[in-house]
Amino acid sequence: MTTADLTAFDRSQLIKELAEDAGFLHCGISKATFLEEEAPRLESWLKQAMHGQMKYMENYFDKRLDPRKLVPGAKSVITLLYNYYTPAKQLDPEAPKISMYAYGEDYHFVIKRKMRTLIERIREMIGDVDGRAFVDSAPVLDKAWAVRSGSGWMGKHSNVLRKQEGSYFFIAELIIDLELQADAPVTDHCGKCTACIDACPTGAIIRPYTVDGSRCISYFTIELKDAIPQEFKGQFDDWMFGCDICQEVCPWNRFSKPHTEPAFEPHPDLLGMTRNEWVELTKDVFNQLFRKSAVKRTGYEGLKRNIRFLDK
């Protein structure tokens, strides 16, 4: 059998094997079609201004809902998950905290490299395939595609969950012009649990499966460029960049397994810094710690603002 004789199912299985070889935690496949269920949800979420100052969420509404408008000729959406969980923690319990995903090198660059390798291997094995890779940097509803592809279910905290791995993984997509066998969605296993809703200190999870982004600690510490509203003073639980609370309390994350990606290892000085060292952080030390990090998105002045806001 030649690659020209491969069925949609055969091509799908081959791509999943190549994704596993490239280090991805999981690969799920969907048809590149209009996201009917998500359209009214996204429209309602935007109308209620739950995106806060994230004005980019208002752009490219049609492209967010239909990958064929984003990638002409698209037939399939390949969802790829990449594990970033580590049991390593910051040593000083009083130190301002950084979300686990930002411990190492910026995931955008790491995963883009993996995806470039994957698409090259797909072309070697299957032939001429056209498409684009997306890593949380374009109008693509990553979580919706992950759910549609059976890569996990949407948790009540709006993160995608998997029974054997929890939720500490990045989501990326390859949108390509190749006909593939789509996967079926999996069932929801949150049950009656409300741990994430109960634990959120700012009340950002306003109801199951709906997060008011404008109340989220991650939004305040990363996306918001203005001063953080004083009404939230004392509610950040020492988070200075991002927040992992809803993931930390989720029972499914007891199944998380450590990643094996060297690029995600933290800078050797990062986890050992004391609260006082963070308070006295200089621009030189910031640049040294976060030279290739996602924390650069907030910038030195933004991180200092966040640290000052945590002052008791």
Residues with a catalytic annotation lie at 136
Count of helices and strands (H, E) across the chain: 12, 10
Query: What's the distance, Cα to Cα, between the start and end of the chain in Å?
Result: 68
Q: Is the dihedral of CA 210, 215, 218, 222 positive or negative?
A: positive
Assigned token pair, 159: 């993160």
Question: Do residues 198 and 146 lie in contact, with contact meaning Cβ atoms separated by under 8 Å?
Answer: no
Per-residue b/e over 135-148, b at no fewer than 16 CB within 10 Å?
A: beebbbbbbbbbbb
Q: Is the dihedral of CA 253, 259, 264, 269 positive or negative?
A: positive
Rounded Cα distance, 138 and 210, in Å? 21
SS3 content of the chain, % helix, strand, coil (to 5): 40, 15, 45
Assigned token pair, 43: 């429209």
Q: Are strands 169-176 and 205-207 parallel, antiparallel or unpaired?
A: unpaired
Question: Do residues 186 and 18 lie in contact, with contact meaning Cβ atoms separated by under 8 Å?
Answer: no
